[in-house]
Amino acid sequence: MTFRLRTVSTTADGRRIVRDRDVANDVLTVGRAAENDIHLPDLAVEPSHARIALQPGGRVAVEATGTLGFALDGQKLRSAAIDPRTGGELRFGSTRVLVGAEDGAVLLTIEPLANDSEAEPDEDGMALAAVMPGKRRLAWILAGLILALFLALPIASNLLRAPDVKQSHVIGDGSWTPGPLSLAHHQLEGKCEACHVKPFQSVRNETCLSCHKTVHDHAPAARLAMARAEPGLGGKLLGGVAHLFGKEGPGACMDCHREHEGMTRIPPPAQQFCADCHGSLKDRLTDTKLGNAADFARLHPQFAPMIMADPGAGTLRRVSLDAHPRENSGLAFPHKLHLDPRGGVAKMAATLAGEKGYGTNGLACADCHRPTEDGVRFKPIVMERDCEACHSLVYDKLGPTFRKLRHGDLDQAIADVTVAGNTTEPLVTGRARPGVRRVLP
């Protein structure tokens, strides 16, 4: 038996060239070195790669002579035996050797595998686009993510929420908040739907009033509307645009009380809010008794405090500060005396300091004038609370208890003192009644 080597090669234009060569040897060597019977100029093939030998019985033995081995029908092996009549496909590097039988000889068809790596890519490999994901794909992914997370999700969640605000829960609208709510509304943080009730509808006054139930209008609505100054050209334009976008119009809560401005107290409305009407109020509300006020500091009618004009009859009267008003309350109460840090009052206050909480430098305003609970105004002075620490009303002592005058109720006080048995000498002597000037001897 002999070997028949059939070499198949392909020309550049795709034509196949087949050459047959019979070799009388019983053993063939395969390798990259030129002296091999099957010479494969392939760097993936060892200089001496394998030997193929005829065996008695017509079989062909293949044995690796180097370190790399070969593949038989896709399986990596170092030695194998093939029956040429059934055939087999050997692979060395990038060359395929088909084993078969022809005319009593063992036919080895040697064919290089098609080499894909030789083909240059059509696109420009030097361009960055060759190694980057497409711009269009990136763009769609990013835009899709943003629209899904920041638009579709909150809207869907808002539309499908429970109708009751207490139970409703909208997912994803946290990304919509333009800033934290004020301290007063802080507990509504994340409950956007509490104020933004209906999609695409501005926050309504009625929504504010559903919580702020006791807030009343500054004046009857009709008079407010009459008092409001006609806006200028710019104001009209802005008002028109705001109306176009569904804002409620002048006087809406939101116009002055701005939200989402940070976690502080809601800033008080600017004085422009007052001046819009009061700046030229007399022009429009002719029956008003109020003067025009466009600015608290500069364009305000003189303040006219209410003062006691006649203490006996209790008549109160407003007098302009320009007229240098002096109150006649019937009381002789010198602030100067009470606040003198070196006078007798200060001394008395210092001795009572520990017990009553007075400062050691005499009295301060806050020792007598107490703020109201809401911290906005002051409570009226009450003798028992604000004065009695120094000005005792005690006139008698009965065992461990003290008898006190009823302050401000003269008749009652006289009755008390007359009816009750006067036990001892008066506690205080030589003291005039309040409001009555003592005539010195």
Partner 1 sequence: MASTSGPAGQARGGVQRARQISADHEGFLRHRRFRWLKLASLLCLAAILAYALVDVQPRPNGGSWLGYTLGTIGAGLIVWLSLLGLRKRTMTRGAWSLKAWTSAHVYLGLSLIVVATLHTGFQLGWNVHTLAYVLMMLVIASGIWGVAVYAALPAALSANREELTREQMIEGVRAVDRQLHAAAQPLAQDEAALVRAALEESLFAGGLVARLSGTWRRCATARALERMALAGPGDEAADRVEKLLIRRKAQLDRLRRQMRLRALLEVWLFVHVPLTVALLAALTAHIVSVFYYW
209 binds partner 1 (CB under 8 A): no
**Rounded-to-integer distance, Cα 403 and Cα 423, Å:** 11
The residue among 118 and 287 lying less far from partner 1, judged by its C-beta, is: 118
249 binds partner 1 (CB under 8 A): no
Residue 347 vs residues 291, 353, 361, 364: alpha-carbon distances, Å: 47, 10, 8, 13
Write the CB contacts of 62 (distance below 8 Å, at least 6 apart in sequence): 50, 51, 52, 70, 72, 77, 79, 80, 81, 82, 90
CA angle, 110 then 111 then 116, to 5°: 155
44 binds partner 1 (CB under 8 A): yes
The residue among 228 and 247 lying less far from partner 1, judged by its C-beta, is: 247
328 binds partner 1 (CB under 8 A): no
9 binds partner 1 (CB under 8 A): no
210 binds partner 1 (CB under 8 A): no
Residue type, 86: T
Per CB under 8 A, contacts with partner 1 among 404-433 are none
**Rounded-to-integer distance, Cα 249 and Cα 240, Å:** 9
Per CB under 8 A, contacts with partner 1 among 137-156 are 138-140, 142-144, 146-147, 150-151, 154-155
Instruction: Provide the minimum distance between the beta carbon of 192 and partner 1 in the complex, in angstroms, as a whole number.
Output: 6
**Rounded-to-integer distance, Cα 432 and Cα 201, Å:** 71
Interacting span for partner 1 (CB under 8 A) from 69-77, 126-134, 311-319, 392-400: 126-134
Interacting span for partner 1 (CB under 8 A) from 43-51, 207-215, 386-394, 433-441: 43-51
Residue type, 204: R
The residue among 174 and 305 lying less far from partner 1, judged by its C-beta, is: 174
184 binds partner 1 (CB under 8 A): no
| Count of other CB atoms within 10 angstroms of residue 384 | 12
175 binds partner 1 (CB under 8 A): yes
Residue 24 vs residues 28, 102, 352: alpha-carbon distances, Å: 10, 15, 135
**Rounded-to-integer distance, Cα 309 and Cα 318, Å:** 9
Tell me which residues touch partner 1 (CB under 8 A).
32-34, 41, 43-44, 46-47, 66-68, 117, 120-121, 124-132, 135, 138-140, 142-144, 146-147, 150-151, 154-155, 158, 173-179, 192, 196, 199-203, 238, 241, 245-246, 258, 260-261, 267, 269-270, 272
